[in-house]
């Protein structure tokens, strides 16, 4: 699920067609590498998975857990004029402030239903500056914003017993249990009926 959600965020940003973007990708430590190479990729947006919080069970059956998760979107821009222009932009180049606004407009309250992802709409978290200053005779600005969501973790169905050969007779049916679930379903039956079958009658 982590990779699926991350890919969906990248796809959402990449398919938006923001005319100024040169790079939209998963973050792989680019800012820690060769600065001459990474600056050429600006304006850039990177997406990174930050981590998950403690899952919370849904109902008492504990077959479904809600998992809070956080991703980070980094925006990076450069400007030959000065450091302030990297943040505010100018008539030629975009600034990181505008990039943050564009990313928020694309991601806020989006749950990626068209991609079939079962998750809560993303909500924005804190934004912080990673770098604002001069680099290679040009201004560089990098900001990171957190995005929070939650998705269900379901207990998988138990596998079939490989030791049971095909054609083995099933045990005699003695009772039938009926479980009733009201909507919205919290994973726990709201009412249960147990029908006991009488043996030896046609």
Is there a domain that residue 55 lies in?
yes
Rounded CA Rg of the chain: 26
**Residue-range definition of the domain harbouring residue 81:** 2-154
Residue 171, domain member (yes or no) = no
Is 185 domain-assigned?
no
Residue with tokens 């973007």: 21
Provide the H-helix boundaries in the chain: 2-14, 35-40, 83-88, 96-107
This prediction's pTM:
0.71
Query: Domain for residue 93, yes or no?
Result: yes
d(CA 132, CA 83): 7
Residue 109 resides in a domain? yes
Domain count, the chain: 1
Query: Is 29 contained in some domain?
Result: yes
Q: How far is CA 152 from CA 10, 53, 56, 148, 159, in A?
A: 21, 13, 10, 14, 21
pLDDT at residue number 20: 93
Cβ atoms of 123 and 89 within 8 Å: the answer is no
Q: Domain for residue 174, yes or no?
A: no
135 vs 127: CA distance, rounded Å: 22
Token pair of 178 as six digits: 């009926």
Would you say residue 89 lies in a domain? yes
Per-residue pLDDT of the chain (202 residues; tens, 9 = 90+): 888 889 989 999 999 989 999 999 999 888 887 777 788 889 999 999 999 999 888 877 778 889 999 999 999 998 878 778 888 888 788 999 999 999 999 998 666 654 667 788 888 999 999 888 877 677 889 999 999 999 888 877 666 566 666 666 666 767 777 777 777 777 777 777 777 776 655 4
Distances (CA, A) of 172 to 81, 147, 161, 165: 83, 53, 19, 18
Element (H, E) at 84: helix 83-88
The CATH number for 94's domain is 3.30.2000.10
Smallest CA-to-CA distance from 139 within 101, 88, 72, 102 is with 88
């Amino acid at each position: 699920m982590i990779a699926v959600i991350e890919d969906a965020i990248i796809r959402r940003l990449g398919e938006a067609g923001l005319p100024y973007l040169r790079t939209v990708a998963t973050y792989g430590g680019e800012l820690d590498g060769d600065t001459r190479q990474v600056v050429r990729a600006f304006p850039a947006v990177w997406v990174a998975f930050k981590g998950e919080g403690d899952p919370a069970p849904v109902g008492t059956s504990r077959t479904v857990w809600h998992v809070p998760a956080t991703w980070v979107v980094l925006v990076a821009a450069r400007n030959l004029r000065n450091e302030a222009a990297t943040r505010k932009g100018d008539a030629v180049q975009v600034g990181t402030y505008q990039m943050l606004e564009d990313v928020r407009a694309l991601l806020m309250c989006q749950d990626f239903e068209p991609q079939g992802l079962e998750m809560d709409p993303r909500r924005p978290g804190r934004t912080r500056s990673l770098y604002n200053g001069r680099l290679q005779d040009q201004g560089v600005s990098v900001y990171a914003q957190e995005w929070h969501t939650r998705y269900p973790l379901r207990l998988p169905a138990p596998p079939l017993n490989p030791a049971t050969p095909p054609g083995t007779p099933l045990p005699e049916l003695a009772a039938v249990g009926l479980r009733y679930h009201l909507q919205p379903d919290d994973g726990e039956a709201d009412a249960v009926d147990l029908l006991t079958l009488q043996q030896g009658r046609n």
